Structure 1
């Protein structure tokens, strides 16, 4: 399964349902540059996420931290953390992704003691899984086995998956992370989500810095500091990038034209839209539209 049209709501919460018919989890292989955006855009979800890079390497951002995950390495991303991924230097990065509901990790009797403290900790947004560490290798080995089990679909495979999930979580909590709970960090993450939520709701309208700052209950200067620290860009630069991201799907509709799309996503000038699109995508919107429609025809869609 390859999720190409990566759907998120106004809160950046991913809308993809991460479950099989019976179980609250999903395990699949994905190629980053086959996504409609040619990267995995910024989003979050309640599920825990485990990743194993099988080919190439990827640049991930989790909250405000960036790291590179190379072939045979992996990544754990905690529940509720903002994250995104890009192919590193066009390596053709392919990875296995496991998304699982925290409630499925352990039984209800063990959940409060061994799961809740870890998903609520503010110093555990992610863990880089490097196979030279035995605990990390055990997690990656179990992730690979779960992926194989979902493909083989043998009798009682659900029980085997449950066993491997338990082993993965046991190895994760045994690595010795000292958990911390900082109220300031929780508030910062919530305010960032509030501002992004406001942008994603109003991106097609005229947006001022004051509007974004007000959504996060911050001053203009503090709002800019949040975006610079977490997203490495100004709030209004983020708005422009998000509008371009939203234009990609619209441009693939055969009946759309560039001017209509520009105004639909909030640009009040077609020439400015074309200029910013070219800077972001290294081609004009019209060239992108022709390229994508030809690609869809080639795939027989």
Structure 2
């Protein structure tokens, strides 16, 4: 299990193929997508059910067959509803760093001189769906130990080229609006708060502490934070602490009481109650289930 962080620092894939595929259903430990961002791009395909996604304060209600394309550093979170979804996280520049003609045409995309469309409903973007379906299917085949990974990676790159070529040819993008600067600053303020939570979750954190990091008054900060993350600041602190506790339960031999205190809970009974409300089982049962 990888550490839970708001800013994902870990590398996805390898240097030769800097991309990684994830199949996510209700059994996945990260089924609910907490607010985070990374320097790679991400494709999400909804296989079944519905998914409520929040991307830089914009809510998307995605259904089976829909595709979401997230640019690097976009803050995003999501709540699945009886949903199975797939994610393909990739370093766009790294994948095509040796292909000059692709780099030339994708330079405005790399540099964010243009902002590609984020949401592609399957009923109005069927060509996009075809490319992404083929890409995800090849990613899934690549997980098979007997598969020819090299040929499947070549296919994935081909479908990714087709995807961006189609987006650019059909002008499924917009230029950067001037009014986006204020919104970007507000998102950066929330990112600073999330980093603070990541670094200090084991200590006492107050609403005033977080509002001060964002340089906002507490009432306004609560509204902005909830718009971005779909949770109040203190709900998010508790959720983050539970995620860290869950990681420690399966990666260390610390006692449950020690883990409770290390993750910021001062009362064992309260920790157990909160953990069960989020994970569905007690810490002890969770540890046994992941032994």
- After TM superposition, the score normalised by the length of structure 1 is 0.79
Q: Which stretch has the larger CA shift, 54-63 or 197-206?
A: 54-63
> 2:63 aligned with 1:73, yes or no?
no
Aligned to 1:165: 160
Aligned counterparts of 1:21 and 1:197: Cα–Cα separation in 2: 27
Aligned counterparts of 2:50 and 2:121: Cα–Cα separation in 1: 13
Aligned to 1:31: 24
Count of matched residue pairs: 280
Structure 2 vs 1, CA of residues 131 and 99 (structure 1 numbering), >3 Å: closer, same or farther?
Answer: farther
Aligned to 1:128: 120
Q: Which stretch has the larger CA shift, 69-78 or 152-161?
A: 152-161
Aligned to 2:223: 225
Question: Structure 2 unaligned runs (5+)?
Answer: none
SS in 1 for 2:204: coil
> 2:78 aligned with 1:100, yes or no?
no
Instruction: Give the alignment of 1:1-301 within 5 angstroms.
Output: 5-9=1-5, 12-20=6-14, 22-26=16-20, 28-89=21-82, 91=83, 93=84, 95-103=85-93, 104=95, 107-117=102-112, 121=115, 126-144=118-136, 146-147=138-139, 150=142, 152-153=147-148, 159-173=154-168, 174-181=170-177, 182-252=180-250, 255-290=253-288, 292-293=289-290, 296=291
Structure 2 vs 1, CA of residues 232 and 148 (structure 1 numbering), >3 Å: closer, same or farther?
Answer: closer
- After TM superposition, the score normalised by the length of structure 2 is 0.81
CA drift at 1:266: 0.7
Q: For each residue in 1:108-138, what CA deviation from the matched residue of structure 2 results, as whole angstroms up to 9, or x when unmatched?
A: 33333354236x64xx682234154244234
Aligned counterparts of 2:185 and 2:4: Cα–Cα separation in 1: 22
Aligned to 1:299: none
CA drift at 1:285: 2.6
Contact preservation (8 Å) 2:67, 2:129: no
Structure 2 vs 1, CA of residues 132 and 263 (structure 1 numbering), >3 Å: closer, same or farther?
Answer: same
Q: Which stretch has the larger CA shift, 124-133 or 181-190?
A: 124-133
Q: Which stretch has the larger CA shift, 153-162 or 179-188?
A: 153-162
Question: Structure 1 unaligned runs (5+)?
Answer: 297-301
